[in-house]
Amino acid sequence: MTLSGSQSSYVCGATTEPLLYQTVGGALARAAERWPARDALIASHQGERLTYRELDARVERLARALTASGLRPGDRLGIWAPNCVEWVLVQFATARAGIVLVNVNPAYRTAELRFVLQKSGCRALVLAVSFKSSNYIEMLRSMLPAASLTGAGRVDCPELPALELVVHLAPDDIAGFLSFGALMARAGDPAGAELPESTDPDQPINIQFTSGTTGLPKGATLTHFNIVNNGYFVGRALCLTEQDRICIPVPLYHCFGMVLGVLAAVTHGACVVFPGGSFEAEAVLRCAAEERCTALYGVPTMFIAELEHPGFARFDLSSLRTGIMAGAPCPMEIMRRVMDEMHMSQITICYGMTETSPVSFQSAVDDPVEKRVGTVGRVHPHVQVKVVDADGNPVRRGETGELCTRGYSVMRGYWEEPERTAEAIDAAGWMHTGDLAVLDEEGYCYIVGRVKDMIIRGGENIYPREIEEFLYGHPKLLDVAVVGVSDGKYGEEVCAVIRLREGICADAEEIRAYCRGQIAHYKVPRYVRFVDAFPMTVTGKVQKFVLRQRIEAELGGGRNDRPDVGDSPADG
Ligand code: AMP
């Protein structure tokens, strides 16, 4: 079938405004020239505030210090820390010195850390002392025998041959490690004067390991050009100016924090405000109120936690105007509440993935409300998207297929993984996202699920997202994840895992009764489970594969162990 014109599911973003040809370090230098005295960075939990002039000066010192420590353009440096001022300093200083920043997930444990350090060949690692239940120093010591720490942060360990320098972020000295302060002091060394004259915007500057539900993490490799432009156009869509103050509780190690947050702010002169090292609903509400933030970011579960916080009404959020919800399907009901109850009338939804820098769709602040709560908006400037069938042909508008992205935002590849890169990016340059989407006639995009999450029950394709959206309308329900569990008769069956509102009870039959007659019989959850919390990734995605495994284990392997598929409430 050949499709043409508006019928075919292909869209291309506006190209009226040119792409920026800048480096990450250059973008900060420009901001410091244009808005020297404006607030650039506030970390409430650290009591730190920096203007653009101050931020730029500290970044310049750190870039010289890294160079004086022997790091050269193209070398890799890992950062393993929750959100803090130093994270941002390292982000810009590495870029200015041409060093490739490797974001290490704060939730990683020893085996994952070893893997990413080995895979990316980090020469240096900057790490916090601890985070939640993780003692980073102890974990690193368990990997590096005492004899391999040869003083002042120098490392000589056969298992991690590339690693030469470990720098900690604590105020006190830690034996064997170099302190951040001592590192900074090296800026004055003569060797620090050798900063590269300029770096090339097309050079890789960042490796972000994507969590992936199967297989080992893959290091999405992004260039200056990828992330400066994506940050810039995200900021444009939010109408950011130097008057804006963005409250950022999402992690910096993920592109939501470092690109949509930091780079969108820097390219528009806005201020970045961190309420804490990691997400905590009350700290976010307090910080947004006290700092008079104009924008707030979050994954859907963060907004849910803020809206449900018992002290919610105490905080004056009237300064909020805009923000971003992204990273996972954004329930319509939550979007409406954020607009009404948090004053974020101009909130937008972004959709994207790390491999595409990340954003490829974003709603506009003035899109009709129905589109703003129900879709991920329209395609970003300079980005092309097509939605294809199993044979790779674009489907008609209104039909479901796999979303593919092409353009400036597509990553360089997975670090030293040519085969996995070739599986993801085809010969024509299309990144295959694995997300199922529908484009409407006007180009608005609906994300309907993941190719891998799609439930196939007795030959019917079921998109968990659709059932989730329907269940969000139930007054007792706070959050829901729908998963497929294997079934001897139908192949898979639908299971709804539900978090109820505080102090509320419900049973499985009640939930099914709510669905019956409203959604097709095969979509009515065969199983309903109630939980207090979902297994989550640090970036706010429900780990559906974990839920699925748990439920299948509970069901005794999920085989055909029951006489019929009637609506017996026994499984509630
Ligand atoms: P990551 O690479 O960690 O940013 O994860 C990217 C994935 O998150 C995408 O492939 C989608 O499955 C999901 N995702 C991101 N934003 C949205 C959104 N607005 N709606 C639905 N899913 C989303």
Condensed to tens digits (0 to 9), the pLDDT of residues 22-34 reads 999 999 999 999 9
Protein residue with its CA nearest to atom 10 in ligand 1: 353
Contacts of residue 22, defined as CB under 8 A and 6 or more positions apart, other chains included, come to 30, 201, 224, 228
Angle between helices 508-515 and 464-471 (to 10 degrees): 100
Whole-number average pLDDT of the chain: 92
How much distance in Å is there from the Cα of 157 to the middle of ligand 1?
38
Instruction: Dump pLDDT digits (tens) for 402-442.
Output: 999 999 999 999 999 999 999 999 999 999 999 999 999 99
Q: Is it the case that residue 322 has pLDDT exceeding 50?
A: yes
**CA–CA separation, 415 and 100 (whole Å):** 11
Residue 390 phi/psi, 5-degree rounding, is: -60, -25
Instruction: Dump pLDDT digits (tens) for 439-467.
Output: 999 999 999 888 888 888 877 788 898 89
**CA–CA separation, 190 and 267 (whole Å):** 32
Q: Which atom of ligand 1 is nearest to the CA of 434?
A: 10
Instruction: Dump pLDDT digits (tens) for 243-267.
Output: 999 999 999 999 999 999 999 999 9
Instruction: Classify the C-alpha dihedral 374-375-376-382 as positive or negative.
Output: negative
Q: Is the CB of 433 under 6 A from ligand 1?
A: yes
Instruction: Dump pLDDT digits (tens) for 546-556.
Output: 999 999 999 98
Q: Which atom of ligand 1 is nearest to the CA of 465?
A: 21
Q: Is it the case that residue 61 has pLDDT exceeding 90?
A: yes
Instruction: Dump pLDDT digits (tens) for 95-134.
Output: 999 999 999 999 888 888 999 999 999 999 999 999 888 8
**CA–CA separation, 497 and 500 (whole Å):** 10
> Tokens representing 293?
């933030």
Q: Which atom of ligand 1 is nearest to the CA of 211?
A: 3
How much distance in Å is there from the Cα of 40 to the middle of ligand 1?
28
When pLDDT is cut at 50, 70 and 90, the band that residue 557 belongs to is: low
Q: Is the CB of 539 under 6 A from ligand 1?
A: yes
Model pLDDT, residue 72: 95
Protein residue with its CA nearest to atom 15 in ligand 1: 327
The span from the first CA to the last CA of the chain, in angstroms, equals: 47
C-alpha distances in Å from residue 437, one per residue of 169, 186, 312, 350, 553: 43, 51, 35, 14, 31
How much distance in Å is there from the Cα of 121 to the middle of ligand 1?
28
When pLDDT is cut at 50, 70 and 90, the band that residue 6 belongs to is: low
Protein residue with its CA nearest to atom 21 in ligand 1: 329
Residue among 105, 211, 435, 468 whose CB has most ligand 1 atoms within 8 A, to mutate: 435
How much distance in Å is there from the Cα of 426 to the middle of ligand 1?
20
User: For a pLDDT cut of 70, what percent of the chain falls above it?
Assistant: 95
Mean pLDDT, residues 317-335 taken together: 94
**CA–CA separation, 534 and 307 (whole Å):** 18
